[in-house]
Amino acid sequence: MPYNLPATRVLMNSLRQVMAEDGETRSRLDQVVHLIASTMVADVCSIYHREADGTLLLIATEGLKPEAVNKTRMGSSEGLVGYVARTAEPIAIEDAPRHPAFSYRPETGEDPFHAFLGVPILRTGGVIGVLVVQNRTERVYRDEEVETLQTIAMVLAEIVHRISEDQSSAQPDRRARGQNGGNLRGRIFCEGLGYGRAVLHDPVVPAARFFAADQKQEALRLEQGLKDLRASIDRMMLIDGAALGEDPRDVMEAYRLLAHDTSWAEKLQEGVRSGLSAEASVDRARREHRAKLQAARDPYLRERLHDLEDLDNRLLRVLGGEESKPQITGESSVLVARRLGPAELLEYAKLGLKGILMEEAAASSHAAIVARALSIPAIGGIEGLTTLIEQDDYVIVDAEQGQAHIRPDDAVYDAYKSRVALRSERQAVYASLRGLPAQTKDGKTVSLMLNAGLDLDLDMMDQAGADGVGLFRTEFQFLVSETLPRLEDQIALYRRVLDRAAGRPVIFRTLDLGGDKVLPILNQLREENPALGWRSIRFALDHKGLFRRQLRALVRAAGEGALTVMFPMVTTPEEFREARALLEEEVAWTLKRTGQKPSKLEIGVMLETPALAFALPDLAGEVDFLSVGTNDLLQFFFAADRMTPSVSDRYALISPSALRFLRMVAETCQTAGIRLSVCGEATATPLAAFCFAAFGYTSLSMSASSIGPVKQALRSIDLAGFRRGLDQALNEPNDAFRNQVLRIALEHGADIPDA
C-alpha cells in the first residue's frame, strides 16, 4: 500500500472539503469512506457507530456489500470491531480470520479480505465508533499508517457524533429539571452541597478547524498560542500563588515547568507540518496523553500525564479565543470533567462555581488539593461521568453523602433546598459552640482536634473551634514538588504550623510515603500490593538520610517550645525504638549546635496494624501516646478496601468485632499508662465519637466540618450510661447492631442530627 506524507495531505485536503459541505450526515460518510479507501489504497473502508445499547452498527462502507449498511451489528465484546471499541486501542492484523477475536459476518461479503486495521473513534474520552480499513492480501500495516487512520478518526468524530444527536433529537429536552437522569456515586474530595447547570470542561475542536489552510501561518498561530499560554500561567503564579499557600503553589510551579517543555511544543509543531490545524494537532496530543494515562500505573507518571492533558485543554482554549473560554454565566454552575488540572480549576473558581464532579479518583490529586483549599464541594471517582452528563444539565452535588443527582425531579430538588437551609441553621448552632468544650453531660471532656496537611487547612482551626491539630500530614510538601524540599523549607513550614496553632497542641505525623503516595524523585519498584508493602515507617527507616532531615527540621522548628511527633504504620516495637532513637539523636545534635531543644518532647505511635495492638505492653514507658489511624487499621482488620464498592459494606467501625478490638486496645493502653487518641475518617460521626470516648480515648481528630456536629453530640450525652449500655450490647449484639448502639445513645440523651 503506497503511503507517504504528500498522500496524507491530499487526503486531509479532500476531507476538509467534505467536512465543509452542507448535506445529510450519512451521505457525507459515504464520501469519506470512498476517499479513505482510494487514497490509502485499501480494498475496504468501513465506519461503525456505537449505539445507545453499546452495540456497533455498520453505518458506511466502501468495499463491503451495501445492503449490510444499517443491518450488520457487532456486540461490544464481539469481533475485532468490538475489541477495538472495548479496549479503545488500535489493532493491526496481518490475517484477520486467524485472529481469535475474529467474527465472520457473511452478509458483508468480507470473505476475501485478510489484512485488518481498526482504530477507535473517540470523543470526550469515550468510544463512539470504530474506523476500519481492510485489504485482500496479507500485509503488515506500518506505524505511520496507524497514526494516519487515528488522525482521520479524530476528524470523523464530530460527524459520527451527529448521528447520536439525530437519534435523540426527537427526545424531550433532558437538560430541564424534572427529567431525572439518576444518581451517580463517587468519593468526597471536599465536603458541602452545591447546585447548578453542568459546564463540561473538555473543549471540543470544531470540525471546520481540523485542517491547516496555510501551514506556515498555522505554525505561527501555534507558536503564539504557546507564548500566550505560558504567559497566562506565569501571571497566575504571580497573582494567585501567594494566596494558595505553600503546597498548592508547589503544584502550580511544577505545572508551569511542563508548559515550558520544548519536546511538547515540538510534537505539536509536527502535527501542523503534517497538514493539521493548530487545534487538531493539540487535540491529537491530548488523545495520546489520554491513551498513555489509561496504561500508566505509576501515580507520579499519571499526575504528570494529567497535567499535560490539562495543558492541552488550556492551549485549545487559547487558540479558540473568546468562543472557547469556559461558558460560565451568572447562573450557578457545576463543573464536570474527566480530570482537572490546578490551573484550570483556579480559572473556573474565579468565575464562580457551586460544585465540581470528576472522573479522577485520587483524593491526593492536584485538583483535589486545590478544591479543598478553595472550599468548593467536590466529588471524584465517578466512572464514565462525562458520557452521562450533558452541557447545561441541572446537577446537585451532594458532597456530604458522595452523590451527584443528574436532572433531579422536583421532589429531589425540594429535599436539597431543605438540606441547604438545615445546613445553614446547623452551622449557626455549631458556631455558637465554638468557644465551649466538648464536655459530656456527666463531665467527661474530649479534645476535638483538626486533621490537616496544608497551610489553608489551618485557617479552619478557629472557625471550627478546634482544640489543636491532632494530625498534620507532612508528606504533602514532598508529593507536590519535583525535588526534595530543602531543610530550610521544611523548617519554615513546620514553624508556620506551630505559629498558627498559637500555643495549641500540634501532632506532626512523620513521612507516610509509599503505597499510593510515591515520592517523585525516587524510582520505587512497582508492588503487587502497595498498601501492604514498602511504605510509611518502613520507607523512612530505609531512607535514614531523608528521615533524619525531616526530624531535624521538626526539632529546629520547635526551638524551645513543645514538640509532638508520631510515627505511622509501626508494626513492631523495634521499628518504634529505631525511629525514636533517630529523633533523640537529632534533638542532641540540635542542642549541641544551637543551644536549643524542645521544652517538652512527646513521641507517639500510630496504631494502623493489628500486630502493634498485641505488642503495646512491650512499649509501656516508651510511648507517650497512641493514635488509632482508623482508615488503615479497619482496612487491615476487615481485609476490605473501603474504596472498593463490592466490599465496602464489610468495612464498618460500628460492629461488634471492631469495637471489641478498640476496647481491648484502650484497656491495654490504660494499664500501660499510654494516652489514647484517634485520627481518621471514622471519628467524624457522632455515634463513632461516643464509642471512642466511652472506651477512654481522650482526643479525636477529624476534618474541620465534622468538629461542630461531633461537639454538639458529645455535649448532649450521658457518657457513663452509654458505656454501660454499649458493653452490654457488645456482650449480646443483635443483627442490626448499629441501630442497637444508636438506640442506646438516644436513650442517654444523644442529640444526633439525621439519626
Q: What is the pLDDT of residues 265-284, one digit of tens each?
A: 888 888 888 778 888 888 87
| 423 shares its domain with 447 | no
- Cα–Cα separations (whole angstroms), residue 212 to 13, 33, 224, 227, 456: 9, 21, 16, 20, 46
**Do 289 and 370 belong to one domain?**
no
Give the domain CATH number at 299: 1.10.274.10
Set 161, 201, 366, 748: catalytic member: 366
Q: In this structure, is residue 457 part of a structural domain?
A: yes
- Residues 6+ away with beta carbon under 8 Å from 202: 124, 125, 313, 337, 338, 386
CA dist., res. 699 & res. 675, Å (int): 9
Any idea what the CATH number is for the domain that residue 658 is in? 3.20.20.60
Q: Are 502 and 617 in the same domain? A: yes
Ranked by mean pLDDT, which of 167-181, 414-428, 493-507 comes out on top? 493-507
Nearest to 616 by CA among 537, 671, 566, 579: 671
Inside any domain, residue 273: yes
Q: What is the 3-state secondary structure (H, E, C) of 535-579?
A: CHHHHHHHCHHHHHHHHHHHHHHHCCCEEEEEECCCCCHHHHHHH
Non-local CB neighbours of 487 within 8 Å, separated by 6+ positions: 549, 552, 553, 556
Domain check: are 197 and 226 in the same one?
Answer: no
3-state secondary structure of 531: helix
Q: Specify whether 190 is catalytic.
A: no
> How many domains does one find in the chain?
4
Q: Which residue has the higher pLDDT, 324 or 413?
A: 413
pLDDT digits (tens, 9 = 90+) for 156-183: 887 787 776 555 444 444 445 555 567 8
Taking residues 58-80, report their average pLDDT.
92
Residue 34 located in a structural domain: yes
Of 294, 324, 354, the domain-final residue: 324
Q: Is 221 helix (H, G, I), strand (E, B) or coil?
A: helix
Using CA atoms, how far residue 97 sits from 103, 115, 134, 142, 441, in Å, is 8, 9, 12, 20, 78
Answer whether residue 755 is part of any domain: no
Q: Are residues 669 and 684 in the same domain?
A: yes
* Final residue of a structural domain among 398, 433, 468: 433
CATH of the domain at 23: 3.30.450.40
Query: Both 609 and 706 in a single domain?
Result: yes
Same-domain pairing of 187 and 229:
no
Whether residues 94 and 197 share a domain: the answer is no
For the segment 576-603, the average pLDDT, to the nearest whole number, is 96
Phi, psi of 73 (to 5 degrees): -135, 135
Determine the Cα angle at 267 with ends 261 and 268, to 5°: 95
| Identity at 275, one-letter amino acid code | G
- End-to-end, the C-alpha distance of the chain in Å comes to 71
Which of these, 424, 505, 426, lies nearest to 466 by C-alpha position? 505
Say whether both 609 and 704 belong to one domain. yes
Would residue 22 count as lying in a domain? Answer: yes
Helix (H, G, I), strand (E, B), or coil: what is residue 57?
Answer: strand
Q: What is the residue-averaged pLDDT of the chain?
A: 83
Model confidence band, residue 192 (pLDDT cutoffs 50, 70, 90): confident
Phi–psi pair at 286, nearest 5 degrees = -60, -40
Q: pLDDT tens digits, residue range 8-31?
A: 667 766 776 776 666 677 788 888
- Asked if residue 191 and residue 79 are part of one domain, the reply reads no
Question: Which residues constitute the domain of residue 281?
Answer: 211-324
Asked if pLDDT for residue 722 goes beyond 80, the answer is: yes
Residue 172 lies in a domain: no
What's residue 170's pLDDT?
43
Give a yes or no: residue 76 inside a domain.
yes
Q: Based on the domain organization, do 456 and 562 belong to the same domain?
A: yes
366 counts as catalytic = yes
Does residue 496 have a pLDDT over 70? yes
Does 53 fall in a domain? yes
Burial per residue of 256-283, b for 16 or more beta-carbon CB atoms within 10 angstroms, e otherwise: bebbeeeebbeebbebbebbbbbbbbbb
Both 668 and 527 in one domain: the answer is yes
CATH number of the domain at 407, please.
3.50.30.10
Strands (E), 668-746: 675-679, 699-702
CA distances from 401 to 67, 186, 189, 405, 741 (A): 52, 9, 11, 11, 21
**pLDDT-derived band at 242, boundaries 50, 70, 90:** very low
Alpha helix locations (H) across 169-214? none
Q: Which among 430, 547, 559, 587 is positioned nearest to 494, based on CA atoms?
A: 559
Judged by average pLDDT, the poorest of 54-68, 309-323, 419-433 is 309-323
Q: Which of 49, 679, 691, 748 is catalytic?
A: 679
> How would residue 6 be classed by pLDDT, with cut points 50, 70 and 90?
low
